[in-house]
Amino acid sequence: MKNKHLLLFIALILFLYPVSASGAWTPMTSGTTNWLSGVWGSSGSDVFAVGLNGTILHYNGSTWSSMTSGTTNGLGGVWGSSASDVFAVGSSGKILHYNGSTWSSMTSGTTNDLDGVWGSSASDVFAVGSSGKILHYNGSTWSSMTSGTSYDLWGVWGSSGNDVFAVGDSGTIVHYNGSTWSTMNSGVPTYDLNDIWGSSGNDVFAVGYEGVGGTIMQYDGTIWSPIMKAEKTLSFTSVWGSSHNDVFAVGLDVALIGIDSSKQNTIYHYNGTTWSLMTVGYSVLALNGVWGSSGADVFAVGRGGTILHYTEPTLINLSSFSAHAHDREIILKWSTGTEIDNAGFNLYRATAEDGEYDKINNALITAEGSSTQGAFYQFIDTGVQNRKTYYYKLEDIDLSGKSTMHGPVSATPRLIYNLWK
C-alpha cells in the first residue's frame, strides 16, 4: 500500500508541475529511403512505421525491418488496439490489417485517399481522408459516415468512442458524440490542420499551418484557442504526448525543402506551460509522424526514411551486467551503484543479437537499492538449450514508468561446464 500511495503522490506532482524533456534524439537505421508518414506501437519494442509505396517497417526493440504489405499504395496512418490488431490506411481507400503474422487488405468501400486512423477498441475504429471522408469499422465491416464537411481530413483522435475529433483543411474540426458528427468552431478558417491528440476530452491539441507560420491549437472542453505560432515557413505535421504536460509536435520548414535538408526537421516540446524547440543535433529530413510508448521513449518519422528516437536515461547507476553459462541454464548477474526512484527490472532474451527479445521474468524484479547504496541481483534462466547462444537485455524501470535498456550480453550453455564444478 505504501508503494501505491507513493505512485499517486508522484502522479500528482507530475500533473501539477511542468515536465522538462531532458533526453536526446538519435537517428535510427530504417533501411528505406521512402517517405514515412505515420508511426504507432503497442510498446517500445513493437512499433510500426508506414509510408510511400506501401512501406511498412517494424521495430522489435533492437532493429527496424521491412514487412510485406502487399500494396504499392502510399500509406498515411497507422494505429492498433494491440500487437496483433493493427490498421494502416492510405491512398485510393486502401486499408490494411495486421493480425500479428501477416498484413491483408480490407474492403473499405471508398476510393478516397485515407490519411488518419484511430480507434477506441478493435471493434470501434475511425479512418479519415480526402473530401471529408470518414469511415467506421465495427469489428466486421467498414461503413461510410456523414461527416458534414467536404474539406480534406488529415487526423483523427478520441478520448473514447463517444468523443472523437477529426481535423483538416481550412480550420476544419468535426466532433463525434457517439451518434453524429458536427462541425466545431475552430476560429481559424485559414489554417490547415494536420493532426490531433489529447490527454483527455478537455485537453486536446491540434497542429498545422497558416500563412503566418506553424500553429498549435488547444481545446479546453469549451473552446479552441491558438496557443503557439512558430516561424512563417514552419508547418506542424503531427502531435503526440504522454500527458497534458509532456507533448511533442513535429514538422518541417517548407522553405528549406530541396535547399538545406539538415534544417528541415522541427520538434517542439510542451511542458504544460510553454512550447520550446528541441535540439536534434543531426542532419535529418522533414518529419511527418510522432508517437511514443512513454515520454521517455518517442519515435519521429519522416522524409527519406528518417526515423529519430528520443530517450531519457533513468537514474540508475548500473555497475555490471553479465551472463554465465552452465548446463542447460544461464545465470544473469547485475549490480548497481545507486538507484533513485527505481521500481525494478525486467530481463529479455533473444537467439540473435539483433533478433526479437522476449521478456523472461513473470513479474517485475523488485528494486533493492537506494539513492545512497546499490544492490546485487541474480536471475537463473532455465529455458535454454545447450550449445546454443542466447542474448540478454536488462531493463530498469523507474516509478514514473520511464525505462532504460542495458546490454546485450550473451552466453552459450554446455554440459562441459558441469564437469569442472
* Predicted pLDDT at 312: 79
pLDDT single digits (tens) 159-173: 999 999 999 999 999
pLDDT single digits (tens) 65-88: 999 999 999 999 999 999 999 999
Q: Are residues 303 and 324 in the same domain?
A: no
pLDDT single digits (tens) 355-367: 889 999 999 999 9
Q: Is the residue at 353 inside a domain?
A: yes
* Predicted pLDDT at 8: 35
Q: How far apart are CA 168 and CA 151, in angstroms?
A: 7
Length of the chain (residues): 421
Q: Are residues 352 and 297 in the same domain?
A: no
Q: How far apart are CA 48 and CA 226, in angstroms?
A: 31
CATH number for the domain spanning 114: value is 2.130.10.10
Q: Are residues 261 and 388 in the same domain?
A: no
Q: From the CB of residue 275, how many other CB atoms can be counted at a distance below 10 Å?
A: 16
Q: Are residues 190 and 323 in the same domain?
A: no
Most confident of 59-63, 142-146, 229-233: 142-146
pTM, full prediction: 0.76
| Domain end point (choices 252, 286, 311) | 311
* Predicted pLDDT at 265: 56
Identify which of 266, 163, 133, 164 has the alpha carbon closest to the alpha carbon of residue 209: 266
Q: Are residues 205 and 58 in the same domain?
A: yes
Q: Are residues 332 and 377 in the same domain?
A: yes
Q: Are residues 266 and 382 in the same domain?
A: no
Instruction: Say what percent of the chain tops pLDDT 90.
Output: 71
What's the mean per-residue pLDDT of the chain?
Answer: 88
| Domain end point (choices 296, 311, 326) | 311
Q: Is the residue at 378 inside a domain?
A: yes
pLDDT at 279 over 50: yes
Torsion angle defined by CA atoms of residues 239, 243, 246 and 250, in that order, rounded to the nearest 10 degrees: -10
Is the separation of the CB atoms in 111 and 92 below 8 Å?
A: yes
Q: Are residues 346 and 252 in the same domain?
A: no
Q: Are residues 301 and 331 in the same domain?
A: no
Q: What is 333-364 written as a DSSP string?
A: EEEEEEESSEEEEEEEEESSTTS--EE--SS-
Q: How far apart are CA 108 and CA 125, in angstroms?
A: 12
Q: What's the domain count of the chain?
A: 2
Q: Are residues 135 and 231 in the same domain?
A: yes
Residues 6+ apart with CB under 8 A from 222: none
| Domain end point (choices 256, 288, 311) | 311
Grid cell digits, residue 203? 485537453
Q: Are residues 199 and 267 in the same domain?
A: yes
Range of the domain at 396: 316-419
CATH number for the domain spanning 408: value is 2.60.40.10
Strands (E), 169-315: 173-176, 181-183, 192-200, 203-210, 213-219, 224-229, 234-243, 246-253, 265-270, 275-277, 287-294, 297-302, 307-311
Q: Is the residue at 1 inside a domain?
A: no
Is the separation of the CB atoms in 363 and 420 below 8 Å?
A: no
pLDDT single digits (tens) 297-312: 999 999 899 999 998 7
What's the order of all strands across the beta sheet hosting 329-339?
Answer: 316-326, 329-339, 376-381
Q: Are residues 364 and 250 in the same domain?
A: no
